[in-house]
Amino acid sequence: MDMVQDASSTGARDVFGLDGQIDHKLAFLKKNVPKDTKLVLVGHSIGCYIILEILKRDPSLQVVKAVMLFPTIERMALTPQGKAMTPLLCHLRYMTYLPIFLLSLLPEVLKRSLVNLVLGGLRCRDQSIVQATVGLLSGDCAANAVYMGGQEMRKVLERENLTIEKNLEKLLFYYGATDPWCPVQYYQEMKADFPAGDFRLCERGFRHAFVLDAGRQVAEMVAGWMKADVRT
């Protein structure tokens, strides 16, 4: 696994880092979407941070709405989950590669059995996530995810208040009521700092990783918001 050590020294080569992924999304929009196209962006977790960076780096984009689901846009390393994961992602990263590599050598059927076993406790498990999770057990894919996760702990620090203020009327934030990556305290602080903003706290018990068991419900909820927005 030819992983880079320091993103600041690699520049454009650091395509799997946080900045590289933001640049990738901007390049995709520039290449594939006409300039006058109106855009609705939907982000989850670190995707919300990426959306804010997109709005900051290219204000010319015709973004009319941005839905921020379970947003990890500030102080990630200080959250309950961040405190648990930062040592692993930032200091013990290479120790995770050996078990990932060994898992990647297993036959596909055995990988699927292991994933089913680990996810067996979910009541309403979406079957489509099994194959997606098996795909993550490739060495390169998992290593790149761990690498980017470490960058998130180091780079997602202070909230981008200026960008939020400039785009407040476009933004809808949806916070989890028991989200270890984004405590309710962050939701309360956002409401206090931006009283005119659209900040919602989950009342349906969705977890941060809602795709595991509530992807359809969240999709229907977001679609309902968009329809209501069009009517108004």
Active-site residue list: 45, 179, 208
Residues 6+ apart with CB under 8 A from 93: 146, 147, 150
Calculate helix-pair angle for 139-155, 18-32, nearest 10 degrees: 100
b or e along 130-151 (b: 16 or more beta carbons within 10 Å of the residue's beta carbon)? eeebbeebebeebbbebbbbbb
Strands of 198-201's sheet in order across? 38-44, 62-69, 171-175, 198-201
b or e along 213-230 (b: 16 or more beta carbons within 10 Å of the residue's beta carbon)? bbbeebeebbeebeeeee
